Structure 1
Amino acid sequence: MIKNLTVCAVLWTSLSSSVFATTDGTAEITVNLAAPKWEFLLKNIASGETQAQLDSSESSFAKELQPLLAAQDHKAVEQAFSQRDIEQDSAALRQLRGQVLISLKQYSEAEVALKSALQLMPDLALAHRSLSMVYMVNKEYLKARTHLKKSIELGVADAQVYGQLAFVNLQLKQGASAIAGYQYALFLEPDNLQWKQGLLYALINAQAFSQAQALLEGMLMSSPDNAELWLQRGQLALKQGLSLQALSSLESALLLNDDANTTHDPNNIITLAQLHIQSGSAQRAIELLDNNLSLFLSKKSNPKDNNTRFEVQPIDQICQWLVFNQRWQPLEQLLTALAPYRKHTSSYFLSRFDVYRSKLALHKGNSMKAEKSLMSSVNADPTNGEALLTLAKLMHSKKRSAQAVQYYARAQGLAAFKERALLGQAQLEIDRQKYSDALRLLRKVIQLNPARQDVLANIQSLNNLVRNES
């Protein structure tokens, strides 16, 4: 009889993250973990009624395959099978054909071969296991689960089967089942890091944070130099609202990656910078961003285009936070560090950064520099409402009312900025004692936002002024 192949399949699952900063200084932060590499094996099983036997007529073909199988020459085995009509083969040969095709990553052909084996022998345990592997690779997890359960029912219940079933249940959002499966796999193979990693994810997904923390701390004791474990510790800390623990964990991961000369994930740099800002150590945040700005350079999607672009949205969010909280010194450092990358930055973000430069210049009392930055911002992106409003207010403060009205009018054409633009122009008209014009503008505000009680009060006051004038 031909010995069953040991076949390995590797799967990846995505664990992404992002940083969403808001103008009120709050943020939702997650850690970006490398996609885990899940490696599953198809092992040999004991002989029995759930294992197929070769027909006597296949013995000569089996002898041809033996040296090829021993050499793990799967391509040659496939070529040998291609000379045969699968309909004339026994369940054992059909099963072997399917395993070889899995090794060659020809999953659709493997599915056909394994299904045909099960047609002849529905309780062929290894065919069920192999078919589950095909479905796992194709992310057809419900089908994979069916065949894994069948394998267990047929008496094939080693750590690999339980670990694979736990993995499938985790993908199907069956947290409790995933936890139980990984725990049983660990019971059979207590030193298997993959089962520990899977159990950790399952516990985190089930929000069993105390159990996940205990498991993770034990894993770190065994592997204190594992940067990914420190990243996971940071992620777990964030889920529990433990910002300082998250910060220290991410710093440890950063240090370990530095020692290993490993490229940092730019999202994790942003996350760490955001945590430092929130904890009051803005200087360290700027240092992190300044030292790693090159990470945000990436090739454009067209592989024939050798130009680069600058991924700046997270940095933009941090600048926005710094402006909102009036952290002018770190803002200046960050904007200075960004200056050499202007040619790699889109016009949209160039416009936004110029607004931040104008805010900084206004803080320093340099209205000329602020005006220059704002004009540059509007030229780069004529739809930047923040730039238009800031420029309008600057013109207002300089008594250049006609220009201010012009920019307020442009901002009113942008839905997200219309209310603020109407209020700004209304204030300008009040300062110019054009109360009727101000009244008209404030009534438009109420049409947009009837809940503005403060505006209703101002309208009443202006009505009185207008009546007294008449």
Structure 2
Amino acid sequence: MKRIITLITLAAASLPATAQQQVISVDTSPAKAFYATDAWNKAFMGYYGVDSGTEPGVTEDTDEREVLGQIREFLQSGSDSGIRSATQAIATLVQQQQAKGVATSPMMLQIAGTLEMRNAEITNNYTEKAQILRRSEDYLRRAIEAFPNFLRAHKNLANLLFRNDRAAEAKKHFIKAVELGDKDAVTYGLLGAIFMEEGKLISSETSLRNSLMINPTILEFKQLLGNVLLQQERYGEAKEVFAELLLKRPNEVNFWMAQSNCYIALDQIDEATRNLEIVRFMGKANVPSLMLLGDVYINKEMIDEATEVYLEAIALDPSDANLSNFIRASETLGNFAAYSQAMSVITKIDGNYKDRLSDEQEIELLSLKSEINISLGKGKEAAGNLEALLKKDPFNARALLSLARYYSDADIDESLEVEQQDLQRSRYQQQAIIYYERAQNLDDQTSQVRAFIGEAQLRVQRDELELAADLLADAQSIQYQDNVQAYLDQIRAALKNRRRS
């Protein structure tokens, strides 16, 4: 039988799912990470140039030609100071042209905007960086206004906008660049990231495959392709994509985990376990990977191994963000009748989150403790848990009914004298009646019915048949049930016979 497990995605929070279904969160971070790679640096250097086929020609202005020569010399050094000097040279030129009333050529504006993009990359001051980026955008928009089919200006503006979380605007300029004949792997790859963010998975896949066909070495775009395939539930293909990525970056935890998701979806649990244990062995396991490994062990019914991993996850990062997953783990163990293991996880949670539990979370843990103690035959401990729960939540129907049943069926101390035993039994039953009556006054009709029936059964034990009949009639008035009616008919018949005698 399939067991409920939890799947995670490449940088997403854990999500409950079955082995045949997973929800993948959109993750465009690999696209942003691309800007820190050598591939981007090499591509960017090409963005200063001129393509006379789709762009304005080289300027005839002698001042601009002179500054172009200076820029080439500055950029040859490859240093940050060279970038700043080139940026300053062209900024000075633009200011001088404005003062003379001379229009700066589109080609020079595009180069100025591109240089400012690079200048922003090497600037650490946030305020200064924002000012530089605004100048860059202004230069590039002016270049496009002067020459609407300026391919390189559209492409550079698109990159600028995308990097600053303005994907919708960037998309228009990337598409325009493609319409103008751009065949750059970067353009296609970032378009793929934008389409993925929009949920247009087929368009995203097409763009990413075009990018990788042009340049298969950009691993960030290959990772995005793997994510897109995961979202389309094409697990077999996604698995192979992440296998290729692992050949290039075997220490990348996200790749191992993503491939594990594929294996789980394909019901290849042993392979998933192997991947997750590799991450653990590497010493790079985090809470999501450990929780996923624990769920895989649950799926394989390896309860002790799952418990060990869950406890390791709690110790690794007992932050508030992970608490709901830890509580879920204890509940999962309880569902598998692994009561002592579930209690060990709860104890660990208590130790790490003692003063940080919300009322709702504390109530949830108390409920779990009571259920586990009842299952372990520890009635007194369970009652203590339930009574503590009611202090937090006086209207908790489950706690009221569980306590009522506990006191209804509580064992009597047989070492006592008969008279004392009767007194103890009476005290327990009165306590049960109190809890049943509290549950009968709740707004939840299902709980009301259960409370009326439960008290009626107790009244029968006490030979209080008339009260039992009234309670069952109340239950039937809320929710009619054939079996309850049959029980009520038996009690009424007994009462009738009693009156005759």
Task: Assess same fold via TM > 0.5.
Answer: yes
Identify the residue that residue 52 of structure 2 maps to in structure 1. 48
Q: Residue type matched to 1:367 in 2?
A: G
The equivalent position to 2:344 in structure 1, one of 314, 333, 356, is 333
The 5-angstrom pairing of residues 8-87 of structure 1 reads: 15-20=11-16, 36-38=29-31, 39-40=34-35, 41=40, 42=44, 43-44=46-47, 45-52=49-56, 53-54=58-59, 55-59=61-65, 71-73=79-81, 81=91, 84=95, 85=98
| Inter-CA distance 14–27: structure 2 relative to 1 (3 Å threshold) | closer
CA–CA distance in structure 2, aligned partners of residues 213 and 326 of structure 1: 34
CA positional deviation for 1:205: 2.6
CA–CA distance in structure 1, aligned partners of residues 291 and 341 of structure 2: 15
Residue 432 in structure 1 maps to residue 459 in structure 2: yes
CA–CA distance in structure 2, aligned partners of residues 445 and 77 of structure 1: 83
Residue 315 in structure 1 maps to residue 326 in structure 2: yes
CA positional deviation for 1:143: 3.7
CA contact (8 A) 1:354 1:377 kept: yes
CA contact (8 A) 1:186 1:195 kept: yes
CA positional deviation for 1:132: 1.4
SS class of match (1:297): coil
The equivalent position to 1:203 in structure 2, one of 229, 238, 241, is 229
SS class of match (1:254): helix
Identify the residue that residue 308 of structure 2 maps to in structure 1. 287
The 5-angstrom pairing of residues 223-242 of structure 1 reads: 223-242=249-268
Name stretches of at least 5 consecutive residues in structure 1 with no aligned partner. 1-12, 299-308
Identify the residue that residue 368 of structure 2 maps to in structure 1. 356
CA–CA distance in structure 2, aligned partners of residues 390 and 429 of structure 1: 16
| Inter-CA distance 58–220: structure 2 relative to 1 (3 Å threshold) | closer
CA positional deviation for 1:234: 1.0
| Inter-CA distance 59–231: structure 2 relative to 1 (3 Å threshold) | same
CA–CA distance in structure 2, aligned partners of residues 243 and 397 of structure 1: 44
CA–CA distance in structure 2, aligned partners of residues 254 and 183 of structure 1: 32
Residue 115 in structure 1 maps to residue 141 in structure 2: yes
| Inter-CA distance 148–459: structure 2 relative to 1 (3 Å threshold) | same
Name stretches of at least 5 consecutive residues in structure 2 with no aligned partner. 1-8, 121-128, 411-424, 461-466, 497-501
CA positional deviation for 1:50: 2.8
CA contact (8 A) 1:18 1:29 kept: no
Identify the residue that residue 400 of structure 2 maps to in structure 1. 388
CA positional deviation for 1:138: 4.5
The equivalent position to 2:104 in structure 1, one of 89, 106, 116, is 89
The 5-angstrom pairing of residues 62-461 of structure 1 reads: 71-73=79-81, 81=91, 84=95, 85=98, 88-103=103-118, 104=120, 106=130, 107=133, 109-256=135-282, 258=283, 262=284, 264-298=285-319, 309=320, 311-341=322-352, 342-398=354-410, 400-411=428-439, 418-433=445-460, 434-443=467-476, 445-446=478-479, 455-461=481-487
Compute the TM-score of the two structures, normalised by the length of structure 2: 0.74
CA positional deviation for 1:35: 6.9
**Total equivalences in the alignment:** 432
CA–CA distance in structure 2, aligned partners of residues 33 and 127 of structure 1: 29
| Inter-CA distance 210–291: structure 2 relative to 1 (3 Å threshold) | closer
Identify the residue that residue 466 of structure 1 maps to in structure 2. 492
- CA displacement 1:370-427 (0-9 Å, x = unmatched): 2222222222444544333322321222353443344345455666x65145314412
CA contact (8 A) 1:33 1:232 kept: no
CA contact (8 A) 2:201 2:232 kept: yes
Q: Which moved more, 1:138-147 or 1:365-374?
A: 138-147
C-alpha RMSD of matched pairs (Å): 3.6
CA positional deviation for 1:463: 4.4
| Inter-CA distance 414–217: structure 2 relative to 1 (3 Å threshold) | farther
| Inter-CA distance 356–166: structure 2 relative to 1 (3 Å threshold) | closer
CA–CA distance in structure 1, aligned partners of residues 84 and 293 of structure 2: 48
CA positional deviation for 1:34: 8.5
CA–CA distance in structure 2, aligned partners of residues 101 and 390 of structure 1: 69
Q: Which moved more, 1:406-415 or 1:159-168?
A: 406-415
- CA displacement 1:148-175 (0-9 Å, x = unmatched): 2322333331222222232233223333
CA–CA distance in structure 1, aligned partners of residues 85 and 452 of structure 2: 80
- CA displacement 1:61-91 (0-9 Å, x = unmatched): 5567566655435566666738835994321
SS class of match (1:191): coil
- CA displacement 1:324-369 (0-9 Å, x = unmatched): 3322231233233334222343333233223333333333433222
Identify the residue that residue 8 of structure 1 maps to in structure 2. none
CA positional deviation for 1:222: 4.5
CA contact (8 A) 2:390 2:399 kept: yes
CA positional deviation for 1:457: 3.1
Q: Residue type matched to 1:422 in 2?
A: V
SS class of match (2:16): strand
CA positional deviation for 1:114: 1.8
CA–CA distance in structure 1, aligned partners of residues 216 and 476 of structure 2: 72
- CA displacement 1:229-264 (0-9 Å, x = unmatched): 2111112223334444333322222222x1xxx4x4
Identify the residue that residue 420 of structure 2 maps to in structure 1. none
SS class of match (2:148): coil
- CA displacement 1:283-319 (0-9 Å, x = unmatched): 1111112223133423xxxxxxxxxx58421122222
CA positional deviation for 1:124: 1.0
| Inter-CA distance 222–267: structure 2 relative to 1 (3 Å threshold) | closer
CA–CA distance in structure 2, aligned partners of residues 319 and 29 of structure 1: 22
CA–CA distance in structure 2, aligned partners of residues 225 and 14 of structure 1: 14
CA positional deviation for 1:228: 2.1
CA–CA distance in structure 1, aligned partners of residues 165 and 72 of structure 2: 33
